[in-house]
Amino acid sequence: MNTPSLDDLIELGAVQDAQGLQGQIKVRPHSSDPVALLSSKELWLSLIPRRSAGVAASHEQASLTLYKVKQAKMHSGTVVIALDGITDRDQAEALKGARILVAREVFPKAESDSYYWVDLIGCKAINLQGESLGEVIDVNDNGAHGIIALGDPETKTVKQLVPFVKEVVRKVDLPSKLITLDWQADW
């Protein structure tokens, strides 16, 4: 299998630590419902930090390593994963800080009216009056519901934080990368 570009992979979490003595890793998921992480049969690990300006893609690709998943389960807010070829605590500790990435095409299909947060990033947001509110540059969870950060994708400057709830989100058109919100630009 060819090593994919980081543009073809979705980051789902990061290795927090080793778990136990048999080589399991403890992963801090980026989602409160890490269904894609728990159901993946293989994962890419990268020890390279998040992409920054001027970093050549060839250096990023060289650091990606594919692992088969033997087992993945939730444990106290983290995901504990057993990887094929990682058999002891020392090997698992060597992966601490690695980013966990999965090919987008292996994600389970989202249910209707459900969205993967990564799919919302980059969508333009407009209100019911057709006014531009910015672009979704980040999505977070405050515990009660999702929050989309609208702003400038170039500078990553957040202009507004908008609750991602049915009372506010009127339409999500992923093919057009457009979200219609019952929200005002000056709120």
């209100």: which residue's tokens? Answer: 127
**Which helix (H) or strand (E) segment is 187 a member of?**
none
Residue 24: which pLDDT band, with cuts at 50, 70 and 90?
very high
Q: In what order do the strands lie in the sheet with 157-164?
A: 157-164, 146-152, 132-141, 124-127, 178-181, 169-173
Task: Give mean pLDDT, residues 90-116.
Answer: 84
**Which helix (H) or strand (E) segment is 127 a member of?**
strand 124-127
Q: Which residue has the higher pLDDT, 173 or 47?
A: 173
Task: Say whether pTM exceeds 0.75.
Answer: no
Query: What's at 47, amino acid-wise?
Result: L
C-beta atoms surrounding 26 within 10 Å: 19
Is 52's pLDDT higher than 60? no
C-beta atoms surrounding 17 within 10 Å: 16
